[in-house]
Every structure is written in C-alpha cells, then in structure tokens.
Amino acid sequence: MDGPNAAKLRALPQVQVLLETPCAISLLARYGRPGVRAALRAALDDARAAILQGAPGDTSEQALLDHAAQSLDRSPRLARVINASGIVLHTNLGRAPLAAEALDAAMQAGGYCTLEYDLTAGGRGSRTQGVGALIRRITGAEAAIAVNNNAAAMLLALTALAGGGEVVVSRGELIEIGGGFRIPDIIAQGGARLVEAGTTNKTRLADYRAAISPATRALLAVHRGNFHMVGFTETVARAELVTLAHAHGLVMIEDLGHGDLLGVFGQDSVTDAVAAGVDVVAFSADKLLGGPQAGILAGREAAIAPLRQHPLMRALRLDKLSLAALEATLDLHARGEHVAIPVLRMLAQSEATLRDRATRLAALIAPRGEVVASEGQAGGGTLPAQPIVSAAVALRVPAPDALAARLRAGALPVIGRVAAGCLMLDMLAVGDDELPALAAAVRGAVGA
C-alpha cells in the first residue's frame, strides 16, 4: 500500500517506544507491564483501523498514551453506587444491602475465625453449624445448611436426593428465574429425569399421583417468584403434596426462592413450608431475608444429612465473609430486630417517609426536580404482583437518557430510571444519609 494512509501507518510508534515515555512509566507503576503493554497495543490497533477507514484522528504519541491511560482507568472494578432505580433487590446492583451488624461480622471474620473450628474440642468443627442453629430457632426446621446461592442449593438437593431417579413437577412450575436458571435444566444437571404433571394452568393431586413411578425419588414444588397466574387455574395445596410424597416414600422438595422467613410480606413463608412437613425448602439469603448472597436448605434432618455429606457440598460451600454476614443477619431475624435489616426497613417505608425524602432531595437541587408519586418494586423475583407505593424526584430535561448516562459516569455513580420522558430518582432504595451525595451528583450532571 502507498499514499497518505501508508505514510500514516508507518509513522505510528512502536509499543516499545511508547513504553519508554515518561507518561508510560507512570502508568507502569500503577498498572504493571502486561496491562500497560496490552492497552498500548489496543490503542495502536484502534489507530491503525481508524487510518485504514480514512478517519485517522489524532495518532500522535501523546494521543495514543492518553487513549491507553483512559482504557486502563476504565477497567472494571466493583464500585459503590446510589440505587435510585426504585428496585430494592436489584440483582445487577448486588441485591440486598447488608445490615451494619452483618458488615461488622464479616470484618471480624476476615482474619482468623472459627470457620471450621470447635473451640471446646480444639479441633475440626462444622462450617454451617451457626446458620443451622439460627434457622432451626427461627423456622422450627430440624436442620439447615447454607451454600453459595439458591441455584446451588437446588442443584445440591436434586443431585443428592433425586440423582439417577425421577422428579415430578407441575407443568405450571417449569419456570425460568433469570440469568439462565431454568428448572428443567437444573434437574437435568442434577442427573435426575423430569416428569411433568398436569397442565400449564391446572395441576391436580391425581396428576401427581399418575406421574409417580417406581423410579420417582422426589416431588418438587417451585414458587412462582417472578410472574403471576390468574384466571382458570388450579394448584395442589402444599399439605396434600407432602402427604402424597410421604405415602410413596418420596422426598418433598420446595424451591421457595424469596426466602421470606416468617411471612412478613403476606405470602407463603419458609416457616409455613417447614410446618407443612416439606423435607427440603430451598431459598435465597439475599432476597427478602436481606442477607449476603447465599442459598439455604432447611427441613428434615433425614433429608438434609445426605446434602451435608455430598461431595458437591465442598464445591458449593460458602466463604467465611458471607457466612459471618449471614449469621449476623439471621441473628437479627431471631431477635425480631427487623428494622436493622435494610431490605425489610426499605420495604416497610410509608409513603409519607418517601415523599419527605423526595422533598428534601428536591430542595437540595432546586430549582430543578419535581416531587412525583412513583411505583417501586421489591425486585429479585419477589412479590411480583405487589407494586410498592413510592416517591421520586423527576427531572424534566430534553435528553433524559443522556442525563442518566452522565449520572452513571460520575465519581459516585447514580442509577436512576427514565420514564415518561423524565429522569426519575426513586427514593425507595435511597438512604437519608445518601441525600447530600446524591444531590451533589445531580448538580454536577445537570450542570455538565
């Protein structure tokens, strides 16, 4: 090739030359040689592609170094954000914010701790003993263990209790939860065969009975976490399913998902499922329980014991930080200190409290922003049919999407919601202590 493009390509510096510039040397100190070299190579590749497309832009040494520095600065890290989306259990934003007590406990456990140590015996102890004792106390279950998340809990239960056999599930409960978690897939992954009972909208006890064969190991019920079925529908009461399972020597497994321990939200609770005799109830710890990411399996000792001993348990086990935070959160539940758990506190706020918070934010960013009624969500596939009355500050700007992007790009990113041509800052998941920082972020983004 020749002509002006070839000359520009030839004029691009070598990576080695760029690496020896003072600017690169300061980048090397911060990001290390492999990272800086890769970023410089990428900057040169971009410059070459731009030249070949006839839009070279600035291909000076300094421009290439700036380009590389920017991409190194942008390399993804977990960053704290303000959640003004109106969704309390926002899966992309880390679901449940932890209680101060849970954070403290995780900090204490960060060093050496009794993760698997029995202080009395001076030797090896069991990892989820503390969680087990707390769940027993709160729900009346005979036994409980904790693993990485509820998907892991289901995989463990199905593998250990039904692997090699058949699992009967209603056609109305063969659901996808999100993030690729589909009940039929997880049954297959657990080495069990799915046998469908009934129809999408109606499943009767006789359908389950007809689906049971000598190969059946378990009946599985799945909570419809993220959708709502209305109209011509029929399901089987939990107590009847338990009776049917036990009459055939099967285990009754239930995926309860949301993890509402006591029925604070007027739906089926873990305690109800345990009381009805379900052998294994699986649920998330970072939904309505308000704890760290974890999955809990609670129920009968005879059904939990094989899970404890299963080789998968080792692969799915919880780390000490999560375990400490989980114990502390469960301890708050056990003591009835629900207001100390952020998720429960947020979901119990009155409309007046939320409106007051919105009014204070509006005052901090006046004259922009208007207090409006809003509809929040619990999120995380919980409480699907219950919109939550909330309040928001609406910013009426010509380009709300661009403002939303500027808010996300700030030093303390703010996640809002664009609706009806406005940028909405919903107060449901915003703390009072976050208002000054939120207001500063909005003033910066609006002024920009």
Ligand X SMILES: *Cc1c(COP(=O)(O)O)cnc(C)c1O
If the CB atoms of residues 153 and 423 are measured against ligand X, the closer one turns out to be 153
Long-range contacts: 199-203, Cβ < 8 Å, 24+?
199/171, 199/172, 200/171, 200/172, 201/172, 201/229, 201/231, 201/232, 201/233, 201/234, 202/172, 202/232, 202/233, 202/234, 203/170, 203/171, 203/172, 203/234, 203/235, 203/236
Name the DSSP class of 99. P
Neighbours of 403 (CB within 10 A): 20
> How many residues bind to ligand X according to rule CB under 6 A?
14
Find the part of the chain contacting ligand X (CB under 6 A) among 33-41, 101-109, 144-152, 418-426. 144-152
Check binding of 255 to ligand X (CB under 6 A).
yes
Q: Residue 92 or 108: which CB sits closer to ligand X?
A: 92
Q: Interface mask (CB under 6 A) for ligand X, residues 376-395, using x and -?
A: -----x--------------
Site string for ligand X, 269-298 (x = CB under 6 A): ---------------x----------x---
- Residue 70 vs 386, nearer CB to ligand X: 386
Name the one range near ligand X by CB under 6 A: 220-228, 270-278, 322-330, 334-342. Answer: 220-228
Shortest CB 257 distance to ligand X, Å: 2
Q: 157 and 253 in contact (C-beta within 8 Å)? A: yes
Instruction: Work out the angle between the directed axes of helices 33-52 and 4-11 (0-180°, nearest 10).
Output: 170
Q: Tell me which of 223, 238, 333, 355 binds ligand X, using CB under 6 A.
A: 223
Query: Token digits for 98?
Result: 């932890």
Minimal distance, residue 185 CB to ligand X, in Å:
12
Q: Which is nearer to ligand X, 376 or 381 (CB)?
A: 381
* Piece in contact with ligand X (CB under 6 A), picked from 10-18, 109-117, 146-154, 213-221: 146-154
| Radius of gyration over every alpha carbon of the chain, rounded to an integer in angstroms | 27
Q: Binder to ligand X among 225, 291, 379, 416 (CB under 6 A)? A: 225
Q: Could you give the CA distance from residue 416 to residue 401 in angstroms, rounded to a whole number?
A: 10
C-beta closer to ligand X: residue 31 or 181: 181
Choose the binding region for ligand X from 194-202, 251-259, 301-309, 338-346 (rule: CB under 6 A). 251-259
Amino acid letter, residue 257: G
Residue from 4, 14, 18 nearest 55 by CA = 4
Q: Minimum distance from CB of 304 to ligand X (Å)?
A: 18
**DSSP string of 359-375, one letter each residue:** HHHHHHTTTS-EEEEEE
CA 380, chain centre distance (Å):
7
User: What tokens appear for 11 in the block?
Assistant: 């004029």
> Nearer to ligand X by C-beta: 177 or 323?
177
- Name which position in 150, 159, 271, 329 contacts ligand X (CB under 6 A): 150
Residue among 306 and 384 whose Cβ is closer to ligand X? 384
Nearer to ligand X by Cβ, of 173 and 426: the residue is 173
Of the ranges 104-112, 139-147, 218-226, 358-366, which one interacts with ligand X (CB under 6 A)? 218-226
- Cα separation, 187 vs 347, in Å, equals 33
Site of tokens 């998340």:
149
Nearer to ligand X, 316 or 395 (CB): 316
CB 148 within 8 A of CB 319: no
| Contact of 292 with 325, CB cutoff 8 Å | yes
Residue nearest to ligand X (CB): 257
Q: How many residues does the chain have?
A: 448
Q: How far apart are CA 442 and CA 113, in angstroms?
A: 43
The pair of structure tokens assigned to 405 is 């992007």
Task: At 404, list the tokens.
Answer: 């939303």
Which residue among 82, 177, 332, 340 contacts ligand X (CB under 6 A)? 177
Q: Which of 57-65, 69-77, 252-260, 314-322 is the region at the interface with ligand X (rule: CB under 6 A)?
A: 252-260
Minimal distance in Å, beta carbon 381 to ligand X?
Answer: 4
Give CA–CA dist 288/261, Å, rounded.
8
Smallest separation, CB 231 to ligand X (Å): 21
DSSP lists the bridge partners of residue 233 as none
Residues 88-117 that bind ligand X (CB under 6 A): none
Please report how close the Cβ of residue 172 comes to ligand X at its closest, in angstroms. 13
By CB under 6 A, the residues from 308 to 347 that bind ligand X are: none
Report which secondary-structure segment, H or E, holds 208: helix 205-211
Q: Tokens 């760029």 identify what position? A: 18
In the complex, least distance from residue 218 CB atom to ligand X, rounded to whole angstroms: 16
Question: Virtual CA dihedral for 100, 101, 105, 110, nearest 10 degrees?
Answer: 0
Interacting residues toward ligand X by CB under 6 A: 149-151, 177, 181, 222-223, 225, 255, 257-258, 284, 295, 381
